[in-house]
Structures are given as C-alpha cells and as structure tokens.
Chains A and B, each alone.
Chain A
Amino acid sequence: QSALTQPPSASGSPGQSVTISCTGTSSDVGGYNYVSWYQQHPGKAPKLMIYEVTKRPSGVPDRFSGSKSGNTASLTVSGLQAEDEADYYCSSYAGSNVLFGGGTKLTVL
C-alpha cells in the first residue's frame, strides 16, 4: 500500500495556472476512474475539490479541473487566487483500499 506520489510544493502568481501531478500504478490511479483531489487549509478538515477524475462537487469553482493519463492524475488550478494557497492531496481507490498522495503545498506568490 504505497502512497501516491505528489510533488511536495508548487507555486504560481495570482492569475496564473498551476498543475499538480499524482502518480500511482495500474493497480490504483491507472486502474480505476476513482481519483479525487482534496484542499486543506491549516487547521481545517479537507475539502473535496474533484472526484471521479474530472467531476467538480457543487460549489467548487470551475477554475479547478482534473484529468488523468495512464497512471498519473493531475489537478489544474487556473486563475490562481490568494485563497487557493493550501495543501492539496490526491486519493485513489485501489481495489480493497484507498491511497492518498503525500500532499502538495501550493503557494500563491
């Protein structure tokens, strides 16, 4: 049950776009269309931003989008805003368990 691989940090200026990757294997990310992305601000519970690779829950801005190619999923944040600064985690269903990525700290410069 190895964790999914995310870059530890990412950054961008307001208005720019940033993409965060999440790499797994054919047994998790590549094998199922059940990849989710969560946003977590310090001291707060995680918030679901993307589910089933590309779907956005009600209330999540369309600046957030998800995609997948092979064993790697990606979260793109367009038109960066100050409030987007947070930790982002990917997760994937993996057959009999759920895996999380190690998290990416997104800094808005």
Chain B
Amino acid sequence: EVQLLESGGTSIQSGGSLRLSCAVSGLSISTYAMSWVRQAPGKGLDWVSSLYSSGSRQYADSVKGRFTISRDNSENTLFLQMNSLRVEDTAVYYCAKDKGPNYGDQNDYWGQGTLVTVYS
C-alpha cells in the first residue's frame, strides 16, 4: 500500500525558515515525479514545486528563490525547505506522487497535508 506522510508544519513568524518532510512507503520516490501542492484556508489548490525522477526541479514563480525541493532516496523522503516565509505562504501543504517520472501534474497519491501558518 502506498502511503505519504507529511510532517513539519507549524506556526512561524514571517521571515523565518521551515523544512517540511514527506515520508513515503510502498514505492521508490526516485522513480516518480514528486510534488508539493498547497491550499490556503478556504482557497483552491496551488502548485508549489516538482522534483522529477531525473533530478530536475521546477518551482512556481511565487516561491522561486525561497523554497527548495529535494529528496533522500535512502530514506524515501521528500523535503521542502522554505526560507523567507511570508504571510501569504500560509496553507496546508500536500505532498503528492505523479503517475510518471515527469511533469508533476497527474498526482495519483497524496498525503494528508501539513499546516503551515505564517504570522506577521
């Protein structure tokens, strides 16, 4: 059974840094594209970043230069390093697995989400 379990969400002051983790079981994350998708309270889905099987990284303009996606293949864990956090980064952050090695737009498995609250 495939499971994704996010952790690391908390309440933090703007300008701070935070690292989210997504522990995956049931498959090897190095085989698939893995993504972070966020959802602000009461709002829609917002793509944040994807890490392809090849190691190529893609970022939304809103987080480029502030967030870094990475993975530890030995631990089968995906990470999102979030620096210079802003109030508008407040959201539930979901980890998601793509059906294939690229693109990050067809996510067939999702975690339960972890809440990041950024206050001024």
A-side residues, CB < 8 A to B, are 1, 3, 34-36, 38, 40, 45-48, 51-52, 57, 87, 89, 91-93, 96-103
Contact = CB atoms under 8 A, between A and B. Distances in A.
Interface size class of B (residues with CB under 8 A): 20 to 34
Main SS of chain A's interface residues?
strand
B119 interface: no
A101 B99 CA distance: 20
Q: Which of A46, A97, A101, A102 gathers most chain B CB within 10 Å?
A: A97
Contacts of B61: 1, 97
Nearest to A28: B105
A36 B45 contact: no
Given A96-B58, A98-B47, A100-B44, A91 B112 contact: no
Contact of A36 (B44, B106, B112): B106
Contacts of B99: 48, 51, 57
Given A48-B107, A51-B99, A100 B112 contact: no
A59 to B, nearest CB: 10
